Amino acid sequence: MTSAATDSVQPGLDEARRPAIAAMQPGECAGRDRGRSSSRPIAERAVWVRRFGRLVAADTDHLASLAEAEIAKPAWETLVSDVMPLVAACRWHARHARKVLRSRSLPGRPFWLIGHRVRVHRAPLGRVGIIATWNYPLQLLGVQLVQAVMGGNRVVVKPSERTPRTQGRLLELAMAAGLSADDLEIRRSDREAGAALLREPDLDHVVFTGSTPVGRRVAEACAERLLPSTLELSGCDSAIVLDDADPVLAARTIWAGLTLNHGRTCMAPRRVLVARSLASAFAAAIVPLATGAAPRSLADDAAADRHRSLVADAVARGARQISSESPTDDDRVRAQVLIDCPTEAEAFFSDHFGPLVVTAVFDDEDDLLRLHRVGGKHLATSVFTRDPQRAERLAPRLGSGIVTINDTIVPTAHPAAPIPATGDAGWGASQGIEGLLAMTRPLVVSRTGRLRPPSGEPDPRSLDFLRGLVRWWGRGGSPPPTRRHDPN
């Protein structure tokens, strides 16, 4: 973390709880026992998460100004796509985490385990490392931090090198809400600090959000030491417009998802697959939205150059471009819709990170699935139809972790909903109920009372009885056949 993060501190926080962020270095915690979790009871963790949510909400303007300075994110987008989902997650975990993590007795005990009781508890993982991303600097890091802490873990965070001040401020608020330097450790924000974090010997789990190529390197580093991980990586997601959809609603919603956060969203639509009967109507609805779109900033000049090269390649292969690209060589590009893009164009299957979407026409469901499966990075798929049951039936065939019907992105902010990554989009679940459970491990505890089945090898008569009992049990409870045991 850079010193700029500490310079952004405003008055009003408890000075005693502010960490010496700038002085922290990788490997500071060497010598700690692996697997040592937080000693805070869950009631105390719930108090912390309530305070954290309140501090984030109260600090919205300052957080938004930092995000705008670092990644050109408009203040209103920081409010609705970062602060609001994070505060909602804090409130949800304060109310529901205890119930999600409570111990449970296992039902359905078989007859031969008479006298045994089995309960499953949720135990902390120990020490969780979070390598943070920058595009939603408050929401993504904030929810991951909340879930790791609510799971009873100690946490070490490597902020993104693109948003050190924004995420530095968020972590200061987490400390001010009641975390100690033992609960939360903060590393530098440069890339080398991420690699150093993966080498720390007492990590029990790593959470990484970022691109698929970098995610592969993280996975390789974790595999060397059998270190479990949660990876939320790139997507190349489809928006599907079925033949009974409202083309105007579909166009407006897809455009909003495409341009949210300047197109820097892993779940943003990258291609629109339109039923042939609605292709003209959909194009007529989205063309006015794309025409003359204002330039938007991407991550850097390289991302903008890739955006422009993808557009040029697709147009050269026959796609129709709606709006002309702005003549610039910096990080600003126009949001682009490319109509009738050939599948061999890289823009059709690439996992780029900007406001670019292509369209293609399908004739039937088999044709739709063939086009949808090009690329294979399915994180969130949108389906537009006037018949939600039709979309429900289609959803299991899409291979995505998330399917939204008549919407994009927004419903995934429900605080109980997980983001389950599959395939090249990553693995594991973050956020929601499954994300909270993933920050713990099941601990099975059995208790045997005074009444218990006999142990050791049964005598021949007892063994014969057991055979008949198993046959009776296997038939669903029908009486077993009666037969006298003949020892000869």
Mean pLDDT of 135-142: 97
- CA dist 474 and 451 (Å) reads 24
Residues 6+ apart with CB under 8 A from 474: none
Rounded to the nearest 5°, which phi and psi values hold at 293? -60, 140
State residue 365's pLDDT score.
95
Mean pLDDT of 170-194: 96
> Is residue 29 in some structural domain?
yes
More confident site: 48 or 474: 48
Residues 49 and 187 in one domain: yes
State residue 366's pLDDT score.
96
Residues 30 and 54 in one domain: yes
Q: Average model confidence (pLDDT) for the chain?
A: 88
And the tokens for 27? 């490997």
Does the pLDDT value for residue 6 go beyond 50? no
Does the pLDDT value for residue 138 go beyond 80? yes
The distance from CA 223 to its chain's CA centroid, rounded to whole angstroms, is 20
State residue 15's pLDDT score.
42
CB atoms under 10 Å from CB of 174, counted, come to 28
Does the pLDDT value for residue 312 go beyond 90? yes
Q: Which amino acid is at 431?
A: Q
> Is residue 180 in some structural domain?
yes
Residues 224 and 251 in one domain: no
Residues 395 and 290 in one domain: yes
Does the pLDDT value for residue 159 go beyond 80? yes
> Is residue 424 in some structural domain?
no
Which residue from 402, 465, 470, 397 is spatially nearest to 435, judged by alpha carbons?
402
Helix, strand, coil content of the chain in percent (nearest 5): 45, 20, 40
Residues 65 and 19 in one domain: yes
Rounded to the nearest 5°, which phi and psi values hold at 206? -125, 135
The confidence band for 472, taking pLDDT boundaries of 50, 70 and 90, is confident
And the tokens for 14? 């408890």
- CA dist 374 and 343 (Å) reads 8
Lowest mean pLDDT of 3-17, 250-264, 400-414, 474-488, name the range. 3-17
Tell me the per-residue pLDDT of 409-457, one tens digit each, with 9 for 90 and over. 999 999 999 999 888 888 999 999 999 999 999 999 999 988 888 888 8
Rounded to the nearest 5°, which phi and psi values hold at 3? -65, -20
State residue 30's pLDDT score.
35
And the tokens for 361? 């026409």
Q: Of 232, 236, 341, 434, which residue is the catalytic one?
A: 232
Is 266 part of the annotated catalytic residue set? yes
Residues 84 and 51 in one domain: yes
State residue 327's pLDDT score.
61
8 Å CB contact between 228 and 263: no
Residues 280 and 408 in one domain: yes
Residues 28 and 162 in one domain: yes
- Dihedral angle at the C-alpha atoms of 270, 276, 281, 286, nearest 10 degrees? 10
The distance from CA 73 to its chain's CA centroid, rounded to whole angstroms, is 21
Residues 280 and 223 in one domain: no
> Is residue 289 in some structural domain?
yes
The confidence band for 484, taking pLDDT boundaries of 50, 70 and 90, is very low
The confidence band for 34, taking pLDDT boundaries of 50, 70 and 90, is low
Query: What is the domain count for the chain?
Result: 3
- The CATH number of the domain holding residue 99 is 3.40.605.10
State residue 28's pLDDT score.
36
Does the pLDDT value for residue 487 go beyond 80? no
Mean pLDDT of 219-241: 93
Does the pLDDT value for residue 14 go beyond 90? no
State residue 466's pLDDT score.
87
Burial tier of 226 (Cβ tally within 10 Å: 0-12, 13-18, 19+): exposed
Instruction: Report DSSP state, residue 180.
Output: -
- CA dist 416 and 85 (Å) reads 11
Q: Of 90, 222, 236, 266, which residue is the catalytic one?
A: 266
And the tokens for 160? 């993104």
State residue 475's pLDDT score.
82
Mean pLDDT of 206-217: 92
Could you tell me the residue range of the domain that residue 354 belongs to?
A: 237-414
Is 90 part of the annotated catalytic residue set? no
And the tokens for 87? 């505060």
> Is residue 100 in some structural domain?
yes
Residues 205 and 329 in one domain: no
Mean pLDDT of 198-224: 93
- CA dist 265 and 82 (Å) reads 12
- The CATH number of the domain holding residue 397 is 3.40.309.10
> Is residue 200 in some structural domain?
yes
Q: Is residue 21 classed as helix, strand or coil in its secondary structure?
A: helix
Residues 89 and 188 in one domain: yes
State residue 79's pLDDT score.
97
8 Å CB contact between 61 and 400: no
- CA dist 397 and 419 (Å) reads 18
State residue 18's pLDDT score.
42
Does the pLDDT value for residue 479 go beyond 80? no
> Is residue 63 in some structural domain?
yes
Q: How far apart are the first and last CA of the chain?
A: 81
> Is residue 280 in some structural domain?
yes
Mean pLDDT of 172-196: 95
More confident site: 325 or 346: 346
State residue 300's pLDDT score.
87
Does the pLDDT value for residue 469 go beyond 50? yes
- CA dist 90 and 474 (Å) reads 48
Lowest mean pLDDT of 2-11, 201-210, 270-279, 403-412, name the range. 2-11
More confident site: 482 or 392: 392
Does the pLDDT value for residue 118 go beyond 90? yes
- CA dist 197 and 28 (Å) reads 10
And the tokens for 116? 């045994």
Residues 397 and 486 in one domain: no
Tell me the per-residue pLDDT of 65-117, one tens digit each, with 9 for 90 and over. 999 999 999 999 999 999 999 999 999 999 999 999 999 999 988 888 888 89
List, as one string, the DSSP characters of 286-323. Answer: HHHHHTTPPEEE-SSHHHHHHHHHHHHHHHHTTPEESS
Mean pLDDT of 475-485: 55
